[in-house]
C-alpha cells in the first residue's frame, strides 16, 4: 500500500507526462486559441461560460478578441440546481448564443444549463456548445438529447482513461496562469521587486500582522509549474478581522474560513493576491430555502450588496435587511483585499 503522505500533485501527475508541464501548457494554449478563432464566430456574440474552470480557460482569448462579445458566466448551485448568471459585458439580443465549458465528462452540468434555458435566459437561444475536451459517451448523450444544438470539441476522448489523462494535462494550463480558477473572489496581480521566496513569505506575514492581531498559519501549496510558487495564509480568528466591517451581522452570518492566497511568478516578479472568505448563514432554514428567499439574486446579479439593488427578492419582512450570502461573501473578501492593499503602501521595498 502506498504511503499517502508521499502522494501529492507532483507525484500523481508529473511522472505521467511525456513533456515538461510548461510545454504542455503552451501546446494547449495554442490549440485553444485556434479553437476559439474557428468556432466562436461573430454570429455568436452572446457567450455563456460554465464556471469555474471554463471561464478561466476561455476568457483570455475572448477578452483580447477584436470582436465584441457579451460574456456571461454560469454557476450551477448544487443544492437546488439553480443557475446563477454573472454578466461581464453587455449582451446583444439579436445574436444567438453559445455555451462554453472546459470539459464534458458525463455531461451533467451542460445538461442542467441547457435544460434551464427557458427559466434563466430564454431571450437567448443557445444553438452551439463548445468544449476543449469531451468524453465520447457523455457527448453522445447530449447530442441525442439536444439534436437541434451543434456540439464542437477540440479533443475527443474515446474512453474514461483517455479522458482522465487529457484532464490532467489541462492542470498545466491552470497552474501556469496567474489568474485564479476561482472567479468568485476578488484578486489583484502586482509587480514586485525581485525577492527570494522565503523573504517574500516573511514580508507578507509581517503585512498581515500589521492589519490583524490574531493568529494565522502559512501553508505551501503544490504546483506542476516550478517557476511559480503558491502558498496560503489561513486566518484563525476571522472575527478579529471583521471588527471594522460593520455591514455583517454576526447573528446572521459567521465566517467558516478566511484566507489570503498568493501566487508568485519567479520569472516575471509578479505576485497574485486573492482574498477568500466562506460564509455560513443563520438560521439554518436559510440554507435549505435560500433559493426561494433570495430568488432573483441568484439568477442575474452584478457582484454588489443586494440592498443597493432590486436583485434580492425577500418573501418575508423577517429577511428584508439580510444580504444575499453570495453578496456578503464577495464583499468580505473585497474588504480583506482592500485592507491588505492599504498595508502594502507601507512596504515600498517589496512593491516597486
| Residue, of 12 and 105, whose pLDDT is higher | 105
Q: Alpha carbon of 191 to those of 195, 208, 218, 314, 327: distances in Å? A: 11, 19, 22, 44, 29
Q: Which three cell numbers stand for residue 59?
A: 476568457
Percent helix, strand and coil across the chain, each rounded to 5? 40, 25, 35
Contact 281, 203 (CB under 8 A): no
pLDDT at 298: 38
Q: 152 pLDDT exceeds 90?
A: yes
Q: Coil, strand, or helix at residue 325?
A: helix
Q: Domains in the chain and their CATH numbers? A: 8-176 (3.40.50.2020), 187-344 (no CATH)
> If you average pLDDT over residues 4-17, what whole number do you get?
49
> If you average pLDDT over residues 273-294, what whole number do you get?
62
Q: 350 pLDDT exceeds 60?
A: yes
Q: Alpha carbon of 38 to those of 104, 125, 208, 214: distances in Å? A: 19, 20, 46, 53
Question: Model confidence at 228, in pLDDT bands (50, 70, 90)?
Answer: very high
pLDDT tens by residue, 76-91: 765 545 566 666 666 6
pLDDT at 314: 38
Contact 24, 172 (CB under 8 A): yes
Q: Which three cell numbers stand for residue 15?
A: 511522472
Closest C-alpha to 186, from 347, 341, 345, 350:
341
pLDDT at 256: 82
Closest C-alpha to 292, from 30, 82, 70, 76:
82
pLDDT at 252: 67
Sequential DSSP letters for 219-247: EEEP-S-TTEEEEEEEES-HHHHGGG-TT
Lowest average pLDDT, out of 17-31, 62-76, 238-252, 299-313, goes to 299-313
pLDDT tens by residue, 12-44: 554 557 788 999 999 999 999 999 888 876 555
pLDDT at 150: 93
Considering the chain, what percentage of its residues have pLDDT values greater than 90?
34
Q: 289 pLDDT exceeds 80?
A: no
pLDDT at 156: 96
Q: Give, for 135, the enclosing helix (H) or strand (E).
A: strand 126-135
Task: Round the average pLDDT of the chain to a whole number and report it.
Answer: 77
Alpha-carbon distance of 295 to 70, in angstroms, equals 24
Q: Which three cell numbers stand for residue 19?
A: 513533456
Question: Model confidence at 311, in pLDDT bands (50, 70, 90)?
Answer: very low
DSSP conformational letter for 309? S
Whole-structure pTM value: 0.78
Alpha-carbon distance of 185 to 307, in angstroms, equals 20
pLDDT at 352: 59
> If you average pLDDT over residues 57-84, what whole number do you get?
68
Amino acid at each position: 500500500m502506498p504511503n499517502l503522505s508521499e502522494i501529492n500533485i507532483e507525484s500523481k501527475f508529473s511522472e505521467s507526462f511525456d513533456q515538461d508541464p510548461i510545454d504542455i501548457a503552451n501546446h494547449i494554449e495554442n490549440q485553444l486559441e485556434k479553437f476559439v478563432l474557428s468556432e466562436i464566430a461573430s454570429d455568436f456574440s452572446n457567450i455563456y461560460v460554465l464556471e469555474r474552470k471554463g471561464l478561466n480557460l476561455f476568457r483570455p482569448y475572448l477578452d483580447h478578441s477584436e470582436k465584441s462579445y457579451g460574456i456571461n458566466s454560469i454557476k450551477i448551485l448544487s443544492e437546488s440546481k439553480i443557475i446563477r448568471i454573472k454578466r461581464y459585458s453587455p449582451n446583444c439580443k439579436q445574436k444567438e448564443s453559445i455555451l462554453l465549458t472546459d470539459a464534458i465528462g458525463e455531461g451533467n452540468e451542460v445538461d442542467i444549463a441547457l435544460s434551464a434555458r427557458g427559466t434563466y435566459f430564454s431571450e437567448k437561444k443557445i444553438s452551439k456548445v463548445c468544449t476543449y475536451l469531451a468524453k465520447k459517451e457523455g457527448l453522445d448523450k447530449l447530442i441525442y438529447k439536444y439534436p437541434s444544438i451543434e456540439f464542437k470539441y477540440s479533443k475527443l476522448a474515446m474512453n474514461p482513461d483517455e479522458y482522465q489523462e487529457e484532464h490532467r494535462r489541462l492542470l498545466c494550463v491552470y497552474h501556469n496562469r496567474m489568474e485564479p480558477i476561482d472567479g468568485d473572489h476578488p484578486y489583484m496581480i502586482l509587480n514586485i521587486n525581485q525577492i527570494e521566496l522565503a523573504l517574500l513569505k516573511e514580508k507578507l506575514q509581517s503585512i498581515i500582522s500589521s492589519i490583524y492581531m490574531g493568529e494565522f498559519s502559512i501553508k505551501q501549496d503544490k504546483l506542476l509549474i516550478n517557476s511559480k510558487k503558491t502558498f496560503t495564509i489561513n486566518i484563525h480568528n476571522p472575527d478579529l478581522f471583521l471588527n471594522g466591517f460593520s455591514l455583517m451581522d454576526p447573528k446572521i452570518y459567521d465566517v467558516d474560513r478566511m484566507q489570503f492566497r498568493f501566487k508568485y511568478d519567479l520569472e516575471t516578479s509578479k505576485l497574485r493576491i486573492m482574498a477568500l472568505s466562506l460564509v455560513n448563514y443563520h438560521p439554518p432554514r436559510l440554507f435549505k430555502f435560500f433559493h426561494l428567499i433570495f430568488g432573483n439574486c441568484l439568477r442575474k446579479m452584478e457582484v454588489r450588496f443586494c440592498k443597493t439593488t432590486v436583485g434580492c427578492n425577500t418573501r418575508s419582512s423577517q429577511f428584508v435587511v439580510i444580504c444575499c450570502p453570495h453578496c456578503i461573501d464577495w464583499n468580505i473578501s473585497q474588504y480583506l483585499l482592500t485592507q491588505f492593499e492599504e498595508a502594502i503602501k507601507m512596504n515600498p521595498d517589496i512593491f516597486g
